[in-house]
């Protein structure tokens, strides 16, 4: 008797065994090193201006201008770079999402190197009259546009090269490169002022940091030729999955919550960098009579510990999750900022140690970029991150010095109060993140 044919469907094929997570390769290490070095040199080019604002104010504005007005005009030129960041970032991010990350990553450092070199060659007011400050303004705008594309573009570039579970470490390492650029600027300014007399600095010495920065910028362009396009973008291009139309429009329409979160986190980041690292040396001299040499030496040490902290906290965010690391790190930063300003008044002999520990916890910001990168899908990642970061940084980076200066009229602890308020905001965001709909597993 013939048996009836079976009518059951064959079972599903067994799933292939899961591949173990990819570890960082030697090529990943090379990519991180070249990206961080290029970021350090580019940020040096952008920040070196702030160390010579007094000299530039003397050379590029009429000699009969009041000192306070010349200083204000010089800082206005510095602020112009911040105001240009959103436009440059949005334009470069658009093409980064449409044509490739590497092209914009290389273009940004080239756009920084050229104006930096030209600033070192500019005629002064004595030679060119009002054309001198106008040319300087134009070059600062170009620098601002370049750094607006460089910072978010660099975070996206390294994040898309490394394994998913090492994004925090990669972005923290890149951020450490950027902060190391601040340290290079401080060391260069110190070296120039030691090597030349004040008269020689006014005559030609101020040009040296810009000329060196321009040359190093072109060297960075050469180094970035060895970098490859990110695997994530190449896969999207092969699958024809690139976003249609304007990537920024798609990012704002579909990921508004991520934009808000990233802008809030950028505000927290600016408090640590702008107030604790960039403003505090001058504030300590004015508020507590700390000598310039002591303040700058302590600041250099704090910038070094900040650089190391960025790498450490970025790596810790991969291991324990960014919300935990961010929340605890910002709470510690809040406490240390108060101890720094109180200690500068009561025990100035401990300034270096207090500033170093505070700089280390400002390194908590190294956990922020990886979280922001994970907040957007690859197709609109560059545009969404660039818009959020640059808009918030232009607004708060430009207003922070003004707000802190106004608050100082009421209390000498105003800088600590300002940093504490934004650290508290960051802790609240960190508490909220795990409950946000669609929040990434580790971000």
Give residue limits of the domains in the chain.
Answer: 28-435
Phi/psi zone of residue 100: left (φ > 0), alpha (ψ -120 to 50 degrees), beta? left
Burial class (CB in 10 A: 0-12, 13-18, 19+), 294: middle
> The tokens 């500068």 sit on which residue?
344
Residue 8's pLDDT is what?
42
Residue 11's pLDDT is what?
44
How far are the Cα atoms of 48, 115, 289, 337 from residue 360, in angstroms, in the given order? 22, 32, 24, 11
Residues 6+ apart with CB under 8 A from 428: none
Residue 359's pLDDT is what?
96
Residue 329's pLDDT is what?
96
Residue 14's pLDDT is what?
47
Rounded Cα gap, residues 314 and 367, in angstroms: 4
> The tokens 């190093």 sit on which residue?
216
Whether the CB-CB separation of 221 and 113 falls below 8 Å is answered with yes
Q: Considering only CA atoms, give the Rg of the chain.
A: 24
pTM: 0.85
Segments in the chain below pLDDT 70: 1-23, 68, 70-72, 75, 436-443
Rounded to 5°, angle at Cα 92 from 91 and 95: 95
Rounded Cα gap, residues 37 and 34, in angstroms: 5
Rounded Cα gap, residues 213 and 120, in angstroms: 9
Residue 313's pLDDT is what?
97
Architecture of the domain whose range is 28-435: Up-down Bundle (1.20)
């Amino acid at each position: 008797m013939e048996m009836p044919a079976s009518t059951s469907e064959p079972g599903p094929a067994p799933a292939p065994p899961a591949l173990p997570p990819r570890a960082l390769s030697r090529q990943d290490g090379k990519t991180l090193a070249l990206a961080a070095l290029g970021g350090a040199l580019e940020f040096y080019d952008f920040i070196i201006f702030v160390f010579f604002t007094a000299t530039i104010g003397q050379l590029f504005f009429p000699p009969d201008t009041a000192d306070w007005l010349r200083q204000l005009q010089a800082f206005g030129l510095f602020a112009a770079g911040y105001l240009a960041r959103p436009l440059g970032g949005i334009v470069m991010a658009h093409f980064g999402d449409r044509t490739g990350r590497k092209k914009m990553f290389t273009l940004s450092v080239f756009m920084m190197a050229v104006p930096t070199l030209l600033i070192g060659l500019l005629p002064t007011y004595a030679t060119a009259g009002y054309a001198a400050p106008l040319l300087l303004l134009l070059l600062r705008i170009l620098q601002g546009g370049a750094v607006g594309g460089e910072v978010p573009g660099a975070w996206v570039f390294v994040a898309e090269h490394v394994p998913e579970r090492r994004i925090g470490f990669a972005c923290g390492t890149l951020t450490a490169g950027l902060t190391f650029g601040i340290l290079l600027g401080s060391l260069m300014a110190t070296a120039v002022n030691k090597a030349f007399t004040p008269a020689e600095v006014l005559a030609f010495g101020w040009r040296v940091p810009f000329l060196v920065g321009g040359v190093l910028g072109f060297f960075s362009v050469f180094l970035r030729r060895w970098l490859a396009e990110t695997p994530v973008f190449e896969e999207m291009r092969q699958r024809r999955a690139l976003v249609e139309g304007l990537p920024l429009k798609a990012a704002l329409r579909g990921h508004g919550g991520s934009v808000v979160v990233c802008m809030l986190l950028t505000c927290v980041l600016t408090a640590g960098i702008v107030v604790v690292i960039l403003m505090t040396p001058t504030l300590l001299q004015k508020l507590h009579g700390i000598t310039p040499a002591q303040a700058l030496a302590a600041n250099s040490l704090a910038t070094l510990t900040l650089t190391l902290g960025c790498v450490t906290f970025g790596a810790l965010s991969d291991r324990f999750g960014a919300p935990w690391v961010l929340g605890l790190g910002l709470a510690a930063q809040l406490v240390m900022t108060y101890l720094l300003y109180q200690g500068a008044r009561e025990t100035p002999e401990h300034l270096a140690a207090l500033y170093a520990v505070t700089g280390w916890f400002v390194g908590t910001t190294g956990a922020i970029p990886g979280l922001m990168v994970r907040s957007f899908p690859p197709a609109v990642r560059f545009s969404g991150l660039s818009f959020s970061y640059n808009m918030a940084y232009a607004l708060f980076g430009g207003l922070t010095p003004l707000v802190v200066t106004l608050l100082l009229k009421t209390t000498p602890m105003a800088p600590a109060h300002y940093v504490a308020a934004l650290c508290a905001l960051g802790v609240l965001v960190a508490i909220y993140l795990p409950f946000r709909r669609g929040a990434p597993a580790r971000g």
